[in-house]
Structure 1
Amino acid sequence: MNTLLDRPIWSALSTVHAPLAEGDGLARRYAPGFLSLAGTAEDTPQAAADFASLVRPGETLYFLQAHPVLPPPGFEALVATEAVQMIAQDVQAVAPDEAIVALGAEDAEEMMALATLTKPGPFSLKSQALGRFWGVREGGRIVAMAGERMKQPGYTELSGVCTHPDHRGKGYARRLSLHVAAKIVEAGAQPYLHAFASNTAAIGLYETIGFSLRRSMHVAALRRPD
């Protein structure tokens, strides 16, 4: 069983993304300014205590793991819901798409504005430090994007897939997802992704491009009181 993907945040922060991590012991988090994600190596009182020591007063961090998330004493669970983890065994070959362009540091503000509007998941001005991003422009503005987020040895997460509400229905999410998945494979990794279990439209889309369910996951947003 692939335990790297059962605790994807912990495994990313203790391997490929270790330079972006804070914490030691049994808990890690992305350094402030990158992503509001944290994970633990196990579900034990010591791991919970190690996590609690990483959270600032009033701060909220997200957990994503295969097993239910147990908040440390005194923490509030603002969100507790189910997600799915999907993995691509065979990525479809796609022809070059001239509409899709690489996004860079100069696009960060515009990318952040699109993510804030569409809410594809935790995102920040520093999200490009985690991996590569691509987008589609119309009228000189970014109207859709997708990219890479968590990375473990041999795996890269497809994430940040979003389209401006005024430009939905044009197939941008599908085209960008295929493009990013192909780029991940070219780099020698296997693509995987996450979606809320209730987001059946997104799950259906990912199934059509070669992703299949690996397992159910649990998401929790844990807040430390002020």
Structure 2
Amino acid sequence: MTHILDRPIWSALQTAHADLAEGGKSARRYPPSIVPFAASADGTPESLDALENLPSQAESMILVESGPIAIPPGLAVVAEASVVQMVAERPHERLSDSRIQPLTEADAADMLALATLTKPGPFTLRAQSLGSFWGIRSEGRLVAMAGQRMRQTGFIELSGLCTHPDFQGRGLGTLLFRFVAGEISSSGDTAYLHAYATNTSAISLYQALGFRLRSEMNMRVVKRRT
């Protein structure tokens, strides 16, 4: 039986993030200025043709699904990876810590700089269009952050977790992880996340923090053929 998280991009753009969707009934994507995620409705020729027509010549798109990903003939795979999807086993307690502050549009440049340095995954100046983010500053410098990305009915993705190298090993990432998981739980939704399958240390940490492996996922980065 198909789960709503088996095709997380399509299900998000069909439900909680439908207002952000570009495209139509056969293929959709997020605005590339927010995040380069896209998906076809299914593997039919009509849907694959619609997916192929979404990007411009210069744009790349990221596809993520639990099963094999059908690639239109006009798109080329330029990168691929195995990913795991993990889901919270139980609701997380809502935390309060004076070091954690909401991040706003005024923080966007600092957020992008931290994400560019630490590479938690696709990140743009408009990442906050997807959901709330929180961060910790030290002497005015943003040193750790985490927030929310894709949303489906009943689920919110915990994403963007990163800590500046100078501040790693102090528990800031774990604190923000637990904080965001608690915020998601307080809304009545279930937290989930994605991690590269090769990042075994992160996966072990997430398991220790109450997340279980739900599914192995395939990721493909595609561009128009030249």
Q: Tell me the TM-score normalized by structure 1.
A: 0.96
Tell me which residue corresponds to 2:5.
5
CA-to-aligned-CA distance 1:65-101 (integer Å, 9 cap, x gap): 1112232113221112211000002144364222111
Taking the aligned partners of 1:91 and 1:208, their CA distance within structure 2 comes to 14
Percent identical pairs in the alignment equals 46
Secondary structure of 2:124 counterpart:
coil
Asked if 1:208 is matched to 2:191, the reply is: no
Mapping 1:138-153, distance limit 5 Å: 138-153=138-153
Counterpart amino acid of residue 63 in structure 2:
F
Tell me which residue corresponds to 1:34.
34
Conservation of the 8 A alpha-carbon contact between 2:22 and 2:31: yes
Taking the aligned partners of 2:128 and 2:95, their CA distance within structure 1 comes to 25
Taking the aligned partners of 2:132 and 2:25, their CA distance within structure 1 comes to 30
Tell me which residue corresponds to 1:58.
58
Taking the aligned partners of 2:8 and 2:92, their CA distance within structure 1 comes to 24
Taking the aligned partners of 1:124 and 1:211, their CA distance within structure 2 comes to 26
**Kindly tell me: are residues 32 and 95 of structure 1, through their superposed partners in 2, closer, same or farther at Cα, counting changes over 3 Å?**
closer
Conservation of the 8 A alpha-carbon contact between 1:148 and 1:158: yes
Taking the aligned partners of 2:6 and 2:62, their CA distance within structure 1 comes to 15
Mapping 1:49-128, distance limit 5 Å: 49-93=49-93, 95-128=95-128
Tell me which residue corresponds to 1:174.
174
Counterpart amino acid of residue 47 in structure 2:
A
Counterpart amino acid of residue 136 in structure 1:
I
Taking the aligned partners of 2:79 and 2:68, their CA distance within structure 1 comes to 12
Q: Any gaps of 5 or more consecutive residues in structure 2? A: none
Taking the aligned partners of 1:37 and 1:108, their CA distance within structure 2 comes to 20
Conservation of the 8 A alpha-carbon contact between 2:145 and 2:162: yes
**Shift in Å, 1:140:** 0.8
Structure 1 residue ranges, 4+ long, deviating more than 6 angstroms after superposition: none
Conservation of the 8 A alpha-carbon contact between 1:91 and 1:209: no
Taking the aligned partners of 1:2 and 1:76, their CA distance within structure 2 comes to 27
Q: Any gaps of 5 or more consecutive residues in structure 1? A: none
Q: RMSD of the TM alignment (CA)?
A: 1.3
Instruction: Point out the more displaced range, 214-223 or 25-34.
Output: 25-34
Conservation of the 8 A alpha-carbon contact between 2:65 and 2:218: yes
Count of residue pairs brought into register by the alignment = 226
CA-to-aligned-CA distance 1:132-153 (integer Å, 9 cap, x gap): 0011111111101000000011
**Shift in Å, 1:222:** 0.4
